[in-house]
Amino acid sequence: MDELFQVTVGEDAGARVVTAVGEVDVSTAPELRERLHEIPEGSIVVVDLSGVTFLDSTGLGVLVAALKRVREGEGEGDLRLVVSRPQVTKVLEVTGLASVFSIFPTLDAALGR
């Protein structure tokens, strides 16, 4: 596992906040997947990618799977992304996923503050 990659999970304003820092790629995406899978279906999840410097297709797959999973539960499950780096924004735009996810420039905006 990449020593520079970190992922933490907390709660804020009634949402589960998953913060990733570093590169999300084939070697680190399994850790992100595991942390996201621990969150119950139907939850409001904010994935803070503002500290992510690289996002590959494996990471995108993890995010899409997590979005589907949280929306499966009863209730108003959703997954929101915090993206502030142009290179991550570009990956989401090129793949068409920018129109699938709710994307916010800051954590406060994603939490509705």
| Domain limits, the chain | 1-7+23-81+98-106
| pTM of the predicted protein model | 0.94
| Per-residue tens of pLDDT for the chain, all 113 residues | 445 899 999 999 999 999 999 999 999 999 999 999 999 889 999 999 999 999 999 999 999 999 999 988 676 899 999 999 999 999 999 999 999 999 999 999 999 99
The span from the CA of 81 to the CA of 19, in Å, is 10
Q: Is 105 left (phi over 0), alpha (psi -120 to 50) or beta?
A: alpha
Helix and strand numbers (H, E) in the chain are: 4, 5
Q: Radius of gyration of the chain from Cα atoms?
A: 13
Topology given in CATH for the domain delimited by 1-7+23-81+98-106: Transcription Regulator spoIIAA (3.30.750)
* Whether 34 contacts 6, CB under 8 Å: no
